[in-house]
Structure 1
């Protein structure tokens, strides 16, 4: 057996078993990726009432930071009560009551895995997964012998995919 055939065989074997090993996490990424498309809607989200004690007499900026609300904005103030979208904050007591819309727990965990940042230990897994997907892209070219019709036709599909990707990125 030649070295080229041995390399091709090894690529196929690694591609196959890595694919089996990562099948579950690929399903999680696929599902959470689709769900993330709808993150700015209420799709699949349930409303939850939150009561939280924060620092009394907080500024508007501090309230938003402590409640972890992006684009926090005060709608109106009546005495000690500050009204904001979906909630209130009592300046004298520090009590904040508001509603949030959250995904069910399992979907929340899936999207958290998908969006892990460098502060999160999960990001090492995301790096491994990303590199594994890159390996799949490269090793796919060793799945068929270059002189076969399937391989040559596959190159046309590859070119079509690259062109579609470029159109999506730049249009």
Structure 2
């Protein structure tokens, strides 16, 4: 029996080497994708490290709340340099003030509220940015990554032979893998 190694590119070798090269990005996209799926339950970007109770005087009519008043509130709580914007939420029941590193929510009836101060979740916040960045170089790299993922998927269909090959049984799992997300997308 010959121990001579095959030369050239094989599906198995391409599948393996692309997998090795992109393993870090695959893990990063997987973790941050799961985190983004649950962003309504908890923020993958930041966490609250300080909660400051608020008590402010507000006009009786929510339509009288303007940027000047909101900036005065921001000065009172030493947040003027971080002020971004404000809005009236929940059908005229709550004043929300957004800051660079915080958010205040104030009840319009009582003037009571809370200022939450945030810090960034260092690793997870950066990973989630990978899904959203529009940096031209990153977009090109992501496109190449997408092509590599297609290559890994396609070569994966041809690296196993025999009764567990794609032609014998793998195609059934592939069909199920296509149908399952379509059910969630269109029926659930």
Q: Same fold (TM over 0.5)?
A: yes
| Partner residue of 2:96 out of 73, 84, 90 | 84
Equivalent in the alignment of 1:79: none
Alignment gaps of 5+ in structure 2: 1-5, 51-66, 71-82, 98-102, 106-114
How far off is 1:34 after superposition? 0.7
Stretches of 4+ moved more than 4 A in 1?
A: 56-59, 100-103
| Shift in alpha-carbon separation, 1:11–1:39, aligned structure 2, 3 A | same
| Partner residue of 1:138 out of 136, 144, 154 | 154
Equivalent in the alignment of 1:24: 24
Please give the residue correspondences for 1:39-50 in structure 2 after superposition, counting only pairs within 5 Å.
Answer: 39-42=39-42, 45-47=46-48
**Secondary structure of the structure 1 residue equivalent to 2:39:** coil
Equivalent in the alignment of 1:73: 88
How far off is 1:159 after superposition? 1.5
Taking structure 1 as the reference length, what is the TM-score of the superposition? 0.63
How far off is 1:110 after superposition? 0.5
**Secondary structure of the structure 2 residue equivalent to 1:143:** coil
Equivalent in the alignment of 2:57: none
How far off is 1:114 after superposition? 2.3
**Secondary structure of the structure 2 residue equivalent to 1:142:** coil
Equivalent in the alignment of 1:38: 38
